[in-house]
Amino acid sequence: MSASKGLVYLAMWFLSFLVGGMENLHHDYDGLIFDMDGTLADTMPTHFEAWSRSMKEHGLVLPIDRFYALGGVPASEIIEMLATEQGKEVDAVAIAEAKEDLFLELLVDVQPIVPVKAIAEFHREHIPMAIATGSPKWVAEKILKTLGIRDWFDAIVGAECVSNSKPAPDTYLRAAELIGVDPKRCHAFEDTKLGMEAAQNAGMVVIDIHTLL
């Protein structure tokens, strides 16, 4: 075997290893739908830093365990919830926008969640795929472009694209609609309890990506 062929076989084996036995999803499903933050992109620590700075400025507190528990919920909804609980009057939309701006400033070198990216890469030419995120669509667009994978996805559904956020099924249902696939024929990928509930509520099979890491 030549050295070049050996490298090709090694690359194929490594990709199969990263995919973790999920290389045949296109035989069983008609669409794949991915959450973004914490699922495709390793952005959660940076999100928390942006949250901490933004909340402190307005006298609000978001503990780290609460932050992860609310994964997938739009920022403005979280801010309204915190303000009510902590007796503050704030402009939740303005704070959410400032938080997202700070997040992007801090996000210098976003990295992918490698096994999940490998699954998407493996299937991108075989099956339509979409993003279903609690972040604003413009933020998702920027992150995916930074990762160099924006063109892998046929649709992006962000927080502003639906009336009800996760764990309501709206985000996933809209993503399935945009790629023209019956939700029950979609396989979803998530990293949070609320996100998994959202996909399940949409009738999808969903995997907790932590089982792949």
Q: Hey, which residues are catalytic here?
A: 35
What whole-number distance in Å separates Cα of residue 6 and Cα of residue 1?
6
